[in-house]
């Protein structure tokens, strides 16, 4: 499998020679057929040829060969025995090769679709193209094979391939917007008969929890999403700043939703400028800044599928802005510190760029009513008198609110 990847574990001069020679498809197939037979010869030759075409800037042609290697792998897996052979070799020994072939197929499918769109003069849309869909369908067939009943159990089982196959499917499903089938993938893993996560590589379990967390966010299952992303962050390789940053891009909004602000040291370790700005706006109750940041980072938040969640976090900005109004009212020793006219809130909102009619307080009343309903503020609205009346103490009962 390490040789098939032609990555860092293979000397660069060997990789260059192999990829250059592999453009002569006839010659490669002849040499491989001298070393291997049947479907294994087809897998190895097709895979190397696909890598050669991809390296030569021809992802479209590369995909044809990558798919051919994947289909040959599927046949091998479908016919594999379900117990040890005479030499004591486990039936799932080929799974690292399958992972290598499918990883190559998925990546080339994306780049070949991208090339097709560019050739047609179109911008690559969120929903993917034909080759990615074909790769998705083929990889899904591997999942069906892993879920079949067999004699082998635990580390010897085909189910040891389920996690990396599901991870490939997650990546494609998000890319080509085929989310409706992901619940089935999760059920394939989250069942009592599935091998222990201790048997899998940490890279696989971290990737699984990362994508499962993202998918739960899309379904607004925020508690489950946070659990998964916490796992991914905790078990991610300590030196992998890039991967930890990717996890934090989704985990930070979930923590903020639970009133938990990240420590400032986090922003010095990871490139998360957009969240550092967002946290500052929330803590200071700076509504103008928060709205500007939503516009500034809109493309980023939309691309991550969290824009609506970021809009939802605005309630904390409102809460801290209301808190500031009450503090100012107390500072200047108002005769009735528990009563504040809606005109005062209108002035505060207007200062932060929210235009409110002189005679109509509906928008402000709605915002404050929601804060009271969600128990961010203790008090009530006197609609007829255009006043907000609060309790004498503990006006803001949520102690862990970022402020």
Give the residue with greater pLDDT, 308 vs 345.
Answer: 308
Tens-digit pLDDT profile for residues 122-153 = 555 544 589 999 999 999 999 999 888 766 66
pLDDT at 85 (0 to 100): 54
pTM here?
A: 0.84
pLDDT at 275 over 50: yes
Does the structure show a pLDDT above 60 at 160? Answer: yes
Which of 4-8, 175-179, 275-279 bottoms out in mean pLDDT, i.e. has the lowest? Answer: 4-8
- Mean pLDDT value of segment 309-329: 87
| Nearest CA among 54, 94, 91 for reference residue 72 | 94
pLDDT band at 3 (very low <50, low <70, confident <90, very high): very low
For residues 70 and 134, what is the distance between their CA atoms, to the nearest angstrom? 11
Q: What is the pLDDT of residues 32-83, one digit of tens each?
A: 888 888 888 899 889 989 988 888 889 999 999 999 999 999 998 888 755 4
- The DSSP annotation for 216-281 comes to HHHTT-HHHHHHHHHHHHHHS-TT-HHHHHHHHHHHHHHHHHTT-PPPTTHHHHS--HHHHHHHHH
Residue 375 has pLDDT above 70, yes or no: yes
Percent of the chain with pLDDT over 90: 45
- Please tell me the least confidently modeled range out of 14-23, 225-234, 257-266: 14-23
Residue 25 has pLDDT above 70, yes or no: yes
| H/E run at residue 349 | helix 342-351
- Distance separating the N- and C-terminal Cα atoms of the chain: 52
């Amino acid at each position: 499998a390490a040789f098939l990847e032609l990555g860092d574990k293979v000397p660069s001069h060997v990789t260059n020679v192999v990829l250059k020679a592999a453009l002569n498809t006839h010659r490669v197939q002849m040499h491989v057929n001298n070393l291997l037979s049947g479907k294994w010869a087809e897998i190895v030759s097709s895979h190397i040829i696909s890598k050669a075409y991809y390296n030569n800037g021809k992802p479209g042609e590369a995909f044809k060969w990558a798919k051919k290697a994947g289909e040959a792998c599927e046949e091998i897996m479908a016919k594999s025995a379900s117990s040890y052979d005479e030499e004591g070799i486990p039936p799932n020994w080929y799974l690292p090769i399958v992972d290598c072939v499918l990883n190559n197929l998925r990546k080339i499918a994306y780049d070949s679709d991208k090339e097709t769109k560019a050739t047609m003069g179109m911008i690559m849309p969120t929903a993917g193209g034909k080759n990615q869909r074909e790769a998705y369908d083929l990889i899904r067939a591997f999942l069906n094979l892993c879920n079949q009943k067999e004699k082998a159990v635990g580390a010897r089982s085909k189910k040891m391939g389920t996690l990396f196959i599901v991870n490939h499917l997650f990546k494609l499903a998000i890319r080509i917007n085929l989310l409706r089938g992901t619940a089935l993938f999760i059920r394939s893993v989250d069942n009592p008969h599935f091998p222990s996560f201790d048997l899998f590589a940490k890279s696989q379990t971290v990737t699984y929890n990362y994508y499962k967390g993202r998918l739960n966010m899309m379904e607004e299952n925020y508690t489950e999403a946070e659990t998964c992303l916490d796992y991914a962050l905790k078990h991610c390789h300590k030196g992998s700043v890039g991967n930890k940053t990717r996890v934090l891009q989704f985990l930070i909004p979930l923590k903020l939703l639970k009133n938990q602000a990240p420590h400032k040291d986090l922003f010095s370790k990871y490139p998360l400028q957009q969240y550092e700005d967002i946290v500052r706006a929330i803590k200071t109750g700076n509504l103008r800044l928060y709205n500007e940041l939503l516009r500034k980072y809109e493309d980023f938040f939309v691309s991550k599928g969290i824009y609506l969640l970021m809009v939802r976090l605005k309630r904390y900005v409102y809460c801290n802005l209301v808190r500031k109004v009450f503090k100012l009212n107390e500072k200047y020793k108002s005769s009735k510190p528990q009563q504040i006219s809606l005109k005062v809130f209108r002035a505060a909102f207007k200062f932060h760029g929210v235009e409110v009619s002189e005679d109509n307080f509906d928008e402000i009343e709605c915002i404050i009513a929601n804060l009271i309903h969600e128990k961010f503020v203790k008090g009530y609205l006197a609609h007829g008198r255009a006043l907000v009346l609060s309790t004498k103490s503990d006006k803001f009962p949520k102690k862990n609110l970022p402020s």
